[in-house]
Amino acid sequence: MADTAVQELPAEDRIAAAPAAVDLRAEYVESGVKDVLDELDRELIGLKPVKQRIKETAALLLVERARRRMGLAHETPTLHMSFSGNPGTGKTTVALRMADLLHRLGYIRKGHLVSVTRDDLVGQYIGHTAPKTKEILKKAMGGVLFIDEAYYLHRQENERDYGQEAIEILLQVMENQRDDLVVILAGYADRMDKFFESNPGFRSRIAHHIDFPDYGDDELLSIAETMLSKQNYHFDDEARAIMADYITLRRQQPHFANARSIRNALDRARLRQANRLFESSDGPIDSRALSTITAPDIRVSRVFAMSRQEE
């Protein structure tokens, strides 16, 4: 925690050493919280409700830190969180930024994030789960433990499942060492609700429940263009229009994973572009051709074929 020197002083000296006032706006900038939130805004398109909740959390933590510095009564907020939403909605990215934010404000020592799933925590035989879970917790101490698809820890239908052992260890650490570890549980919204119903211990320890909405068509197109731009690619005008049609159709088909599905689609488009350039090349190719995704690179996707079959 920050300001340990002030905290270790006797009460009367601590009050004397405390500042008379705190400029929260200056703290917001000087702590680096503004940089973290600005980066999050640049990195993720849309997600306004999520970004607003993160800003509100940052404001709470800034105020609590100011109260601590001024010698006012304060209590370390419960920082464990739940991120609910479909795949590809930015949950892992937000968790990374949250770890950075908490570190800058002095609420965690290191600011690193350890991302795990059930397989990293739960063993396959008696005596295997506790060492696995404790090893992960040891790595995560001082930072954030991000448990994706957390509901798989609990398999009610299997009486011999060892997930309950991992859950009990996690709950104990979340309560007893909450000053040195933040746990973020993530997964589909409906499954997370059922998970919390079956495990009230988790619900009571988590103060921040954040819902991640699906992206809209226009947001997904902007995400696609941003992804391409980072790799020095771009759509031509016709390809952009075809990509917009692709997004509309793909969202209606099974296993759609928001930004993750868009990334996969762009990887396939680049593959087709490379093959097209190689097969049609009979001389030098300029940088524009190497960097442009055209309509045929997208139109041959099976997403369009599946749509025609449904008609």
User: Who wins on pLDDT, 268 or 123?
Assistant: 268
For residue 264, give every residue at least 6 positions away whose Cβ sits within 8 Å of its Cβ, in sequence order, or none. none
pLDDT at 232 over 90: yes
54-58, 157-161, 172-176: which range is least confident on average?
A: 157-161
* Mean pLDDT score, 270-292: 92
Would strands 208-212 and 144-148 be described as parallel, antiparallel, or unpaired?
unpaired
In this predicted model, what pLDDT tens digit does every residue of 205-221 receive, in sequence order? 998 999 999 999 999 99
**Residue 81, beta-bridge partner list:** 184, 208
pLDDT digits (tens, 9 = 90+) for 170-192: 999 999 998 899 999 999 999 99
Residue 83, SS3 per DSSP: strand
Please answer whether residues 180 and 137 qualify as being in contact, where contact means their C-beta atoms are separated by less than 8 angstroms: no
Tokens standing for residue 101: 């934010």
How many other β-carbons are positioned within 10 Å of the β-carbon of residue 151?
Answer: 22
**Residue 307 reports pLDDT greater than 90:** no
Q: Which has the higher per-residue pLDDT, 160 or 128?
A: 128
Q: Is residue 48 very low, low, confident or very high in pLDDT (cuts 50, 70, 90)? A: very high
Q: What angle do CA 262, 120, 103 make, to 5 degrees?
A: 75
Residue 64 near residue 207, CB atoms below 8 Å:
no
When pLDDT is averaged across residues 83-105 and rounded to a whole number, the result is: 95
CB 82 within 8 A of CB 185: yes
Gap between the terminal Cα atoms of the chain: 61
Query: What pLDDT, on a 0 to 100 scale, did the predictor assign at position 17?
Result: 56
Assign residue 46 a region (left: φ > 0; alpha: ψ between -120 and 50; beta: otherwise): left
Residues 22 and 67: their CA atoms lie apart, in Å, by: 9
Q: Are 196 and 202 in contact (CB under 8 A)?
A: yes
Residue 270 near residue 233 (C-beta atoms within 8 A): yes
Q: Binning pLDDT at 50, 70 and 90, where does residue 245 land?
A: very high
Q: Is the pLDDT of residue 10 over 70?
A: no
Query: Domains in the chain, ordered, with CATH?
Result: 4-212 (3.40.50.300), 217-310 (1.10.8.60)
Tell me which of 63 and 311 has the higher pLDDT. 63
